Amino acid sequence: MSRSVALLIAAACGLWLLLVDAAAADDSPATRNVVLIVSDGLRWQEVFTGADPTLMNVEHGGIWAKPEDLKRDYWRDEVSARRHVLMPFLWDSIEKHGQIFGNQMKGSVARVTNAMHFSYPGYNEMLTGAADPRIDTNDFGPNPNETVFEWLNRKPGLKGRVGAFATWVRFKDIFNVERSRIPVQAGWDPPYRGQLTQRQRTVNDFYATTTKFWDENAPNNYVQGPLLDYVRDKRPRLLFVAYGETDIWAHAGRYDLVLESAQRFDGMVKDLWNTMQAMPAYRGRTTFILTADHGRGSGLSAWREHGAAPELAGSQNIWIAVIGPDIKPLGERVDVAEVTQSQIAATVACLLGEDYRRDVPGAAAAIADVLATTSACPSAR
């Protein structure tokens, strides 16, 4: 064989290998970062239909605002306009470029699989991929189960780049911080440590001096500033964020503040998305998953509560929304197979190129329908 022919063959082989590598790369997840965001106890009914007119009053909704002001801010005759005015980022951006599950009026069911239908069991299911019947109280204590966040924190490229921000103090137990060593900013703990700027000292003072209307929950807006600072400074690849006010105000019977908190939640998600998309490390490489930990009852009084009691039927029903570079842009899902809260853990791992169920076979499969590829996560197929 002449030297020129040999060089030609070698060049052809090299080109073929490059094409194979490129094809393999094209089939791998584009997502490098995942953010799981929860609005505690936000019903699917408000997400998909907007404000409920039967609750925009003093008698059943416990509102303090003037009914005409509430109607001006949240009521529109068309369902599409009404839900948009409540959660504009969800319907302008996530629905158009991602997917949303859970509109039961259109044949899409998203639900929890635990039997409790309240927070700690829901967060455990969401973060571990399976319900645990032992967890039957919000005061359960440190979680005996390893979350997918703890599991991923041991993976190359992710270790030390996993974090959580939440308004509820119980997340220190849910993530079992003593065992997992995942940094969790939760409850009323001041968010800044070490040598502080004047702004950071001021924020810490707010945490220390604010009258604690809720002993275990800080307000949503207290979390937002430190969260954005953490993203800019630490560049996490896996992040959990939980806002609690939609649940708190529902328990208090204040439907006006449920609506206000839902709208502000949507704005905080937009703020976080825009902040991350403005950073090269995150732009076009980040997936958001939004959901609730449980649903609520329905009707004129049961909307305030949730649980397994017959009069609180519907508390198992949630919603799930996803947007990111690996998400098929199918919008609001209609007439699709049921999805469950337990599928979120494996979905988070799949998006990061890891097969959670290979190590944790008891976990539910990922929501394969949202993924552009399952090559890195065969158990999702």
Q: So where are the chain's domains?
A: 1-30, 31-380
**37 alpha carbon, distance to own chain's centre:** 2
Residue 1, pLDDT score: 52
pLDDT band at 377; cut points 50, 70, 90:
confident
Closest listed residue to residue 74, CA positions, set 55, 99, 90: 55
Closest listed residue to residue 355, CA positions, set 152, 143, 218: 152
Give me the mean pLDDT over the 266-292 stretch.
Answer: 98
CATH topology of domain 31-380: Alkaline Phosphatase, subunit A (3.40.720)
Residue 372, pLDDT score: 76
Q: For residue range 310-320, list pLDDT tens digits in order.
A: 999 999 999 99
Lowest mean pLDDT among 6-15, 103-112, 250-259, 313-322: 6-15
Q: For residue range 223-246, list pLDDT tens digits in order.
A: 999 999 999 999 999 999 999 999
Higher pLDDT, 370 or 47: 47
Sheet of 33-39: strand order equals 184-186, 162-166, 238-243, 33-39, 286-291, 320-323, 99-101, 331-332
Gap between the Cα atoms of 295 and 110, Å rounded = 10
Gap between the Cα atoms of 214 and 205, Å rounded = 17
Residue 336, both tokens: 């699709």
Q: For residue range 74-113, list pLDDT tens digits in order.
A: 999 999 999 999 999 999 999 999 999 999 999 999 999 9
Gap between the Cα atoms of 73 and 327, Å rounded = 32
Higher pLDDT, 34 or 379: 34
229-248 CB burial, b ≥16 within 10 A, e <16? bbbeeeebbbbbbbbbbbbb
Residue 27, pLDDT score: 63
Q: How far is the CA of 364 from the CAs of 1, 52, 361, in angstroms?
A: 57, 33, 8
CB 315 within 8 A of CB 342: no
> Given a cut of 50, is residue 273 above it in pLDDT?
yes
pLDDT band at 15; cut points 50, 70, 90:
very low
Residue 340, pLDDT score: 98
Give me the mean pLDDT over the 321-326 stretch.
Answer: 97
